[in-house]
Structure 1
Amino acid sequence: MLMCKQEEAGIQLNVEQADWRDDTDDVSDDQELEAHYMYMAKLQQVSPDVDDSG
């Protein structure tokens, strides 16, 4: 959180801090995408097929 505050204040992060921030951003993006896919799979399991409704 301190790094976010430093960045917002216009304080330049060192290379190690910037790399760590980029890596953690990637992890959270991956987790969000995985959660989305799991949610969509659950919806498909509980939703009736369009073909069966005719």
Structure 2
Amino acid sequence: MSVQKKHHRKKSLKDVVSSSVRDYGNDPFVLKKARESKMTLEKHGFPKALEKRWPKA
């Protein structure tokens, strides 16, 4: 039985740095998702597995 090795080519990505980035803090979509996330956490609580990873401050 032979072992086949997969060769992955690394793609070089060029980062773009911009000093003028739009603020999405008041975007209706972001506000809706944040509100839904908050309601879900209040209803079900934070996952126990993640509570162990980050101690409360």
State the TM-score, normalizing by the size of structure 1: 0.36
Q: Which has the higher helix share?
A: 1
Give 1 or 2 for the bigger CA radius of gyration: 2
State the TM-score, normalizing by the size of structure 2: 0.34
Flag the structure with more relative contact order, 1 or 2, with Cα contacts below 8 A and sequence separation at least 6.
1
